Amino acid sequence: MFRKNVQADSGMIFPYDPAQDVAFWMKNTLVPLDIVFIREDGTIARITHARPMDLTPLPSGEPVAAVLELRGGRAAELGILAGDRVSWPR
């Protein structure tokens, strides 16, 4: 929240154990973000594009094990799509 920019190769990951249905919103978020919802098996369930300061809930649509926030448009720049598999150190 309150960041004025997000570097191209930066982001934040929010792990959930156990996996659960979640929703994110953009209150006090000043920059657009890509919200990447990740299943327990590491596949991407969906990617949504969040607008700054928007209070509309952005639901995962299914139980997820993690949510990754990236700079807006970065997922497309990297060719990241729903169904792709991701991993991170836990």
Amino acid identity, position 22: V
Describe the strand order of the beta sheet including 64-71 as a list of residue ranges: 11-20, 64-71, 33-38, 44-50
For the chain, the domains span 11-73
pLDDT digits (tens, 9 = 90+) for 21-45: 999 999 999 999 999 999 999 999 9
How many CB atoms are located within 10 Å of the residue 9 CB?
9
pLDDT of residue 80 exceeding 90, the answer is yes
> CATH: 2.60.120.1140, 3.40.309.10, 2.40.50.1070, 1.10.287.3510. Which one for 11-73?
2.60.120.1140
pLDDT tens for 52-77 read 999 999 999 999 999 999 999 999 99
CA angle 80, 83, 16 (to 5 degrees): 90
